[in-house]
Amino acid sequence: MKDYKKIKLLILDNDGVLTDGKVIYDNHRTESKNFSAKDGLGIKLLSYSDIKLAIITGRESEVVAQRCDDLQVTMLFQNVRNKLKKTRELLKELDLSWENVAFMGDDWNDYPVMKRCYISACPADAFPDLKEKVDFVTERNGGKGAVREFIVHILKEKGIYEEVLEKFISHLENN
C-alpha cells in the first residue's frame, strides 16, 4: 500500500489526459482542443492543498497556454521531447524526489516518467497494455473528468479531501 502523504507534485500530460486526445485544425490552421470544466475544478481544488501541479507536453499549443493561464497553472512545459529529462530538472529545482511525484499520462511516450514516479495513473481510454503498468486507472476518459477523478483520489488517500473542499467552498463564499 502506497503512502499518498508523500505526494508533493502532480505532473500531467496534456493530449489524451487533459483533453480527449483530438487535435483539431480549421481551414486557417487554427487549433482547438476539448478540455473538461470538471478537470478544471479539480485543478482549482488541488491549489488548496500542499501539492504543486506541472503540465509537461510534447506539443506546443497556444490553446494549452491559455487553458493553463485560465487555471493559474504556472508550471507549463511545452514542446518537451524528453519528459524524463524535464521531470528530473523539475525535481531538482523543487528539491523533491521521485517518491514525491504522481504522474498521469496516456501513452508510451509518458512511460519513462510513469515507471519512476511514486504513483502513476492513466485515463480509462489509454491503451490497454499501458493500463496494466500503472497504479491507478480512472473510470473516466481523458478530457472527460479523468484528471479530476485522479486528483480527488489523491486528496482522499492523503486524508485531506474534506479539508481542501472546505477551503475551496469557503473561498467561494467569501469572495
In the chain, where are the structural domains located? 4-174
CATH number, span 4-174: 3.40.50.1000
pTM for this predicted structure: 0.95
Local confidence pLDDT in tens for the 175 residues of the chain: 899 999 999 999 999 999 998 888 889 888 888 899 999 999 999 999 999 999 999 999 999 999 999 999 999 999 999 999 999 999 999 999 999 999 999 999 999 999 999 999 999 999 999 999 999 999 999 999 999 999 999 999 999 999 999 999 999 999 8
| β-strand pairing of 24-25 with 31-32 | antiparallel
Q: Give the Cβ contact number of residue 49 at 10 Å.
A: 21
Q: If we measure between CA atoms, which residue out of 42, 149, 34 comes closest to residue 137? A: 149
3-state secondary structure (DSSP) of residue 77? strand
